[in-house]
Amino acid sequence: MPASAIRIGINPISWSNDDLPALGGETPLSTALSEGKAIGYAGFELNGKFPKDARGVADALRPYDLALVSGWYSSGLARRSVAEEIDAIAGPLELLKHNGAKVLVYGEVADSIQGQRVRLVERPRWYSDRAWQIYADKLTELARFTLSQGVRLAYHHHMGAYVEAPEDIDRLMALTGSEVGLLFDSGHCYMGGGDPLQVLRKHVDRVCHVHFKDVRKAVVQLARNQLWSFPDCIVNGTFTVPGDGDIDFAALLDVLLQAGYEGWLVVEAEQDPAVAPSYVYAKKGYDTVRALLSAAQERNAGLHPPSHRSL
């Protein structure tokens, strides 16, 4: 697989956090973009400090020669009709299309507690087969629409939401059509009770976007024992960048390359930049992923023909 097939991007959350504005709230977008470019990142995902219109996003990225990787979309599909969601998603979808992004980070926020100081064990759940199927059918229809617009829906399993645990991911993938892509987030997978390598192996054919987030296992255990909320996890250092925690990213990369993955690898870690300085940790994440990717590409060279899988 050619080195250019996979690009390394970053989420601005290393500099400022949308859910917890006190974390890096004073840091301007220009600082994140200039530092990210200097480190070597090829693109950025959106955050709340980006302009809200397509041209404004393009203007923000252009001076730094950075690509738009994707952007988070807060969906209420669990409580809305497909028609209502299509109306709501139209603007964000157009912004992504205009700026060349091929995937949409889909976050189901209906009933989510991810931004609240509420114990994660109190997250929402569907308790019947019918409820799961109704949601899955709506999601497939919505994903079919985004694909018709040239952007694939990348479903983000997320702490504090309906789809958090590995069994939730299994069920969602089983009940939805192939139009629904999976955003594999290593950190959320581990925190949600999964073995990232096992989950990735099981669902790699549906993976269309990747967030490489590391975890500090000792802090994860503390979070579980003390019944933390998601904001508690963030401020207490549950997550970090690749190379600073305990997840085996070399093994994950091997699975992705052997499956012919050709999308983005996005470094992401919800941390307090006052404790984990943005530039230092963003660089650590980039250097780690860049080195691991080069080594993985060498290991996997010639094992599989180039993939033409559309993401």
Residue 308 lies in a domain: no
* Domain count for the chain: 1
- Mutual angle of helices 166-175 and 129-148, in 10-degree steps: 70
How much is the pLDDT for 138? 98
Q: Which residue has the tokens 């099981």?
A: 202
Q: What is the pTM of this model?
A: 0.94
Residue 311 lies in a domain: no
How much is the pLDDT for 1? 40
Instruction: Assess contact for 251 and 201: CB atoms under 8 A.
Output: no
Instruction: Assess contact for 1 and 306: CB atoms under 8 A.
Output: yes
Residue 73 lies in a domain: yes
CA separation for the pair 124, 245 (Å, rounded): 28
How much is the pLDDT for 304? 53
How much is the pLDDT for 298? 87
How much is the pLDDT for 271? 92
CA 220, 283, 245 angle in degrees (round to 5)?
A: 20
Residue 171 lies in a domain: yes
Q: What share of the chain is helix, strand, coil (3-state, %, to 5)?
A: 45, 15, 40
Q: Residue 144 is part of which domain span?
A: 3-300
How much is the pLDDT for 302? 61
How much is the pLDDT for 264? 98
Quote the tokens at residue 30: 């220009």
Of 247, 157, 161, nearest in space to 206 by CA: 157
Residue 140 lies in a domain: yes
How much is the pLDDT for 236? 95
Residue 164 lies in a domain: yes
The predicted-structure confidence for 238-286, as pLDDT tens digits, reads as follows 999 999 999 999 999 999 999 999 999 999 999 999 999 999 999 999 9
CATH number for the domain spanning 57: value is 3.20.20.150
Instruction: Assess contact for 157 and 192: CB atoms under 8 A.
Output: yes
How much is the pLDDT for 297? 86
H helices of the chain, in order, are 29-39, 54-61, 82-98, 129-148, 166-175, 186-191, 196-203, 217-225, 230-235, 249-258, 278-300
Q: What Rg value do the Cα atoms of the chain yield, rounded?
A: 18
Residue 305 lies in a domain: no
How much is the pLDDT for 308? 41
Instruction: Assess contact for 282 and 267: CB atoms under 8 A.
Output: yes
pLDDT < 70: residue spans in the chain = 1-4, 302-311
CA separation for the pair 286, 198 (Å, rounded): 24
Cβ-Cβ contacts under 8 Å for 139 (sequence gap 6 or more):
77, 153, 155, 172, 176, 180
CA separation for the pair 176, 106 (Å, rounded): 14
CA separation for the pair 238, 59 (Å, rounded): 35
Residue 243 lies in a domain: yes
